[in-house]
Chains A and B, each alone.
Chain A
Amino acid sequence: MACHERMEDDSGKYERIVHKNGSSYHYLKISLEFEEDTSIRLNSAQFKQLIISSLKQLFGEIGAALPFDVLQFEENTLSAVLRVYNRDLVKVWSALTLLGSYQSEMCAFRVQQVSPFLLALCGNSRT
């Protein structure tokens, strides 16, 4: 739901847009890192399974049942865009943080960006 409000001023025209409950989702841009000399390859199904198993490790069956989507996955860089509901964000994010190994190889999820708007992920505001 967006609320538009026009303010007219001598100096020019302003448009104020206020988003209330702008989005019911949050989007996470993440990448999975392994040690440099690894031979591990993942496809998108395995990638999603890895996230589900990390959720299950931390939150049990309830965690494994949390709905989320992998919107985009790149096999070469192991980077992905996730979509999660707002109320699940903390759980999914902390599960990603606490994941430490895959098939007994050390790994780490790097969360690059988190935003309620998918468009925000196309640019990086931090560099």
Chain B
Amino acid sequence: MAVFVDLNIRQTSDKNLLRKTIEIAAHLGYSTIAVNYVIEFQDKKQNFIKPIPVNDLFNSLPIVQGKSKPIRVLNRLTVVVSDAVQCIELRATSPHIRLYDIVAVLPKTEKLFHTACMTLDVDIICITVTEKQPFHFRRPPVSGAIERGIFFEIIYSHATKDSTMRRYTISNSLSLMQICKGKNVVLSSGAEKPLELRGPYDIANLGLLFGLSEGDAKAAVSTNCRAVILHGETRKTAMGVVYTMKKNQTLLDKEEDEVTHPLSKRMKT
């Protein structure tokens, strides 16, 4: 059986809170979670945040309920783009991107949504859930994204907080489902606090409310998320086949090396 994954636990500066949230996620039965770092380019020069290493958070990772294995913690970057210039940061050769396992993008306009679906090298495209969908989903970009193996993410934690947000969440996801027919959708929490998390089976059930079929809803918390993680891994490889790393390097050195020496140019895929 596929394991459950929550690809969006919001990073907070409060380490204790983050730790507690991850513990609860493990308790609820998520085998893998991704800590989400959000970047908005509102004020011209916002710096990229370096992800906190997992060892800083935990001495020993919490055990997943019913699995007797420790939880796996990934790092994910979400870039909110409202201008085409900002997409330049999302090149695969960008040194910041390589620090993260998963890269997501939240496009604010229809044009950016189109570029995100068709050309940007990302794993996830977030769907706005806090306001009315600013543009209509059209079939060509959505089917283009599905063909490229990019997934659409719907965040549910806002729906638990406020009835207006709940309405937007449901209506935006229904309008997405009309176009993508339930394919390539992931459901994730976007939780900052432990009480905003829900169990994986609850979310699979909630998927029915968002217009997914029973099978698609379960895939949205398990197999689709796995596909996202694998899609993210292929970014560090050549055509998803070959992966190179220098010999005799500890993982820590490697990370430092990546920052100082960015990747050489990669063939266009």
A interface with B by C-beta (< 8 Å): 33-35, 57-58, 90, 93-94, 96-101, 106-108, 110-111, 114, 126-127
Given A57-B163, A97-B205, A106-B193, A111–B65 Cβ distance below 8 Å?
no
Given A98-B159, A98-B160, A98-B166, A106–B202 Cβ distance below 8 Å?
no
- Is there an interface contact between A93 and B66, defined as CB atoms closer than 8 Å? no
The size bracket of the interface on B is: 20 to 34
- Is there an interface contact between B206 and A97, defined as CB atoms closer than 8 Å? yes
- Is there an interface contact between A99 and B160, defined as CB atoms closer than 8 Å? yes
- Is there an interface contact between A111 and B201, defined as CB atoms closer than 8 Å? yes
Given A97-B202, A100-B160, A90–B208 Cβ distance below 8 Å?
yes
Q: Which residues of A have CB within 8 Å of B28? A: 110
CA distance A99 to B206 in the complex (A): 12
Answer whether residue B95 sits at the interface, using C-beta atoms and an 8 A cutoff: no
B interface with A by C-beta (< 8 Å): 28-29, 65-66, 159-161, 163, 166, 193, 195-199, 201-203, 205-206, 208-209
Chain A facing B: main interface SS: mixed
CA distance A101 to B196 in the complex (A): 10
Q: Which residue of B lies closest to A95 (CB)?
A: B209
Interchain CB contact (< 8 A) of A97 among B66, B193, B195, B203? B203
CA distance A96 to B199 in the complex (A): 11
User: Chain A's nearest CB lies how many Å from the CB of B190?
Assistant: 13
